[in-house]
Structure 1
Amino acid sequence: MDFSNLHTILRSLYDEMMPLCSDMAGVAQAIAGLGALFYVAYRIWQSLARAEPIDVFPLLRPFVIGFCIMFFPSVVLGTINAVMSPIVQGTASMLEGQTLDMQKYREEKDRLEYEQMMNDPSTAYLVDDAEFDRQIDELGVTEIGTAAGMYIERGMYKVKKAIQNFFRELLEMLFQAASLTIDTIRTFFLIVLAILGPIAFALSVWDGFQSTLTMWIQRYIQTYLWLPVADLFSTILAKIQVLMLQNDISELTNNPNADLDGTNTAYVIFMIIGIIGYFTIPTVAGWIIQAGGAGNYNRAVNNTAMQAGSMAGSVGGAVVGNVAGRAGKLLK
């Protein structure tokens, strides 16, 4: 499954849903117009009652908000997205660079492992069909037991490699699924915030709801930052894997008898940590930007992220446990 295409579909979905913001502009303008009437009338009456000069500058606030509502997709969303887009592009390029390095080092490690086993006659037949056939042909009729042992060892080696590859592919799929889950929720939140954004702007004209404007901006930017934070998280994990691969390559180069089973176990552990850690991304994004009056929202998002992380950890542990149990039965 190509997860990159699914992420592209989510980007297209966001772009396709943006015109719906204009459908809410009419309702929002009516709400904002009525709020502006009360907002201006109250302050003018208050100044007249106190025999004070009328301060015109604060009275411009409802009209500026009304202008933003009229051109909400281009002025508000366009400006925020244009400012935040370079951050997304920068973190995406960082992730792409680390991923390419990881693929290069993984191919180099596989090549060195293959050469290491081919250089040892006692293990060459495990990875090379021609060498296996040659050694079988050299055995005499009286060495049927040795030939049977070679068949068994070769079969066990293939089963072991198949289990290792299955674990790696399973964890990588779960890791990509966690990334897709975060991106899907992020896209859903952004679409809802964008469509209902004019209503939030209109309500902020009314006295008592002024914080709605800053809270909407904070929530939109926080949600927008989920993708850059996720890319940074993936970049860190990719860098860890690159360092592990470099260490394995160094071991294989300097020590022909190096045993890399411990490194493979560490790789599995880091992948499980990455799957669980993906669900802390909303919390990290909340650390980047804060606005007054949004504490309850942050607590709700953090609690949701923690519950999702706990659920992901329990599901991941159950899946890995079941697979390990089956693998143990196969090896027996």
Structure 2
Amino acid sequence: MDFSNLHTILRSLYDEMMPLCEDMAGVAQGIAGLGALFYVAYRIWQSLARAEPIDVFPLLRPFVIGFCIMFFSTVVLGTINSVMSPIVQGTASMLEGQTLDMKKYREEKDRLEYEAMMNDPSTAYLVDDAEFDRQIDELGVTEIGTAAGMYIERGMYKVKKAIQNFFRELLEMLFQAASLTIDTIRTFFLIVLAILGPISFALSVWDGFQSTLTQWICRYIQTYLWLPVADLFSTILAKIQVLMLQNDISELTNNPNVDLDGSNTAYTVFMIIGIIGYFTIPTVAGWIIQAGGAGNYNRAVNTTAMQVGSGAASVAGGVAGNVAGRAGKLLK
């Protein structure tokens, strides 16, 4: 199964679903227009009631949001995707480079294993049919037991290699399936966020829903980063496999008779860790960008400053009262 084609289909699906954003833009414009009416009217009335000059700059906010809703696909989604796409391309190129290295070293390792077994007469018949036939022909009729043992050992070796290849291919397929699962959920979330994005922008015009705008942008970027984080995770695992293959190649070069069963087991363990680790990608992407952090920090600082100011005022009032009291006693 070619998983790269499935990832390409998901990207095409996202592009095909983007025109649906225009269907929501009309509804969103109505919601935003009504919200802008109340937004502007309330602030003008508030300024007039307090006999204060009208600050025009904050009143432009609903009009800017309305402009973003009108051209949501090109202005909002186009800008975010254009900024984030180089990150996706960069991590994809990193993964591709490590994958190519892994394939090259795996082929080198298989070649060294084959040559090491061919150079040893006691194991050459296990991997080469011609060598097996030659050794069988050299055995006489009286050595039927030895020939039967060779057949059994060759069969057991093939079964062992078949089981190892089966588990390796199964784990690699599950690893690719986990990657495809993350990409599918990511594409689904991005499509939903993109289609309903104009509604989120429209609701942010209303008082009490201003944070909807920043939260939508935060959620969209977080979801968009799932794919780069997944590629980085795959790149790290591919690099680990490359290092393991390099170590195996070094050992085979120095000692052709080395046993690599432990290395194969470690490879299996890392593949299982990779499959489990893929489902932590949304959490890692959430660490990269968060909305409202600065606002909460400023709110906490302002609250602390107000509390300190109130405490200082209380202390100053108490000190002033004590001084005034003592001064009054001295005057008496």
The verdict on how the C-alpha distance between 1:68 and 1:237 changes in structure 2, with shifts beyond 3 A counting, is: same
> Counterparts of 2:331 and 2:130 in 1: how far apart (Å)?
26
Structure 1 position 304, deviation (Å): 35
Structure 1 distance, partners of 2:280, 2:154, is 43
What CA distance in whole angstroms lies between the structure 2 residues aligned with 1:321 and 1:169? 84
Alpha-carbon separation, structure 2, partners of 1:325 and 1:108: 94
CA–CA distance in 1 between the matches of 2:99 and 2:92? 10
Q: Name 1:51's counterpart in structure 2.
A: 51
Q: Deviations over 1:182-235 (max 9, x none)?
A: 000000000000000000000000000000000000000000000000000000
Give CA deviations for 1:107-150 in whole Å, capped at 9, x if unaligned. 00000000000000000000000000000000000000000000
Question: How far apart, CA to CA, are the structure 1 residues paired with 2:128 and 2:321?
Answer: 32
For normalisation by structure 2, the TM-score amounts to 0.88
User: Could you say if the C-alpha distance between residues 184 and 293 of structure 1 is closer, same or farther in structure 2, counting changes exceeding 3 Å?
Assistant: same
Runs of 4+ with deviation above 2 angstroms = 293-332
Count residues with an aligned counterpart: 332
Query: CA offset at residue 25 of structure 1?
Result: 0.4
> How does the TM-score come out when normalised to structure 1?
0.88
CA shift, 1:292, in A, is 1.4
Match of 1:184 in 2: 184
* C-alpha distance 93-251 of structure 1, shift in aligned 2 (>3 A): same
Q: What's the CA shift for 1:317?
A: 69
Instruction: Pick closer, same or farther for the CA change 1:311–1:29 going to 2, 3 Å.
Output: farther
CA RMSD of superposed structures (Å): 20.5
Quickly say closer, same or farther: Cα 1:248–1:322, change in 2 above 3 A: farther
Contact map agreement 1:283 1:305 (CA 8 A) in 2: no
**1:256 Cα deviation from its structure 2 partner:** 1.8
User: In 2 relative to 1, CA 49–328 (structure 1 residues): closer, same or farther, beyond 3 Å?
Assistant: closer
Q: Is the 8 A contact 1:95 1:231 kept in 2?
A: yes
Q: Deviations over 1:244-282 (max 9, x none)?
A: 000000000001211100000000000000000000000
Q: Does 1:85 align with 2:54?
A: no
Distance 1:36 1:312, change over 3 A: closer
Q: Percent identity?
A: 94
Contact 1:156 1:331 in 2 (8 A): no
Q: For the residues of structure 1 that align with 2:263 and 2:60, how far apart are their CA atoms?
A: 64
Distance across 2 between alignment mates of 1:75 and 1:88: 20
**Separation (CA, whole Å) in 1 of partners of 2:101 and 2:194:** 37
Alpha carbons of structure 1 residues 42 and 320: separation in structure 2 relative to 1, 3 Å: closer
Structure-2 separation of matches of 1:331 and 1:181: 86
Q: Is there any run of 5+ residues in structure 2 with no aligned partner, and where?
A: none
Partner residue in 2 for 1:268: 268
Shift of 1:301: 29
Change (3 A) 1:295 1:20: farther
Using the alignment, how far apart are the partners of 2:150 and 2:292 within structure 1? Answer: 71
Cα 1:307–1:229 change in 2 (3 A) is: farther
* Mapped contact 2:18–2:195 kept (Cα < 8 A): yes
Secondary structure in 1 matching 2:293: coil
Question: What SS class does the counterpart of residue 259 from structure 1 fall into?
Answer: coil
In structure 2, do the counterparts of structure 1 residues 329 and 46 end up closer, same or farther at CA, with 3 Å as the change threshold?
closer
SS in 1 for 2:301: helix
8 Å contact kept, 2:17–2:191: yes
Q: Does 1:134 align with 2:122?
A: no
> Do the aligned partners of residues 268 and 134 (structure 1) sit closer, same or farther apart at CA in structure 2, a change above 3 Å counting?
same
Deviations 1:277-330 (A, max 9, x none): 000000000000011189999999999999999999999999999999999999
2:113 and 2:256 in contact (8 A); partners too:
no
How many angstroms apart in 2 are the aligned matches of 1:19 and 1:117? 60
- Structure 1 residues 330 and 52: CA distance shift in structure 2, 3 A: closer
Structure-2 change in CA distance of 1:160 and 1:142 (3 Å)? same
Asked if the contact 1:21/1:194 (under 8 Å) is kept, the reply is yes
- 1:324–1:29 Cα change, 3 Å: farther
Q: Which structure has the greater CA radius of gyration?
A: 2
For residues 26-68 of structure 1, what are the alpha-carbon distances to aligned partners after superposition, in whole Å with 9 as ceiling and x for unaligned?
Answer: 0000000000000000000000000000000000000000000
Q: Tell me, yes or no, if the aligned pair for 1:29 and 1:70 is still in contact at 8 Å.
A: yes
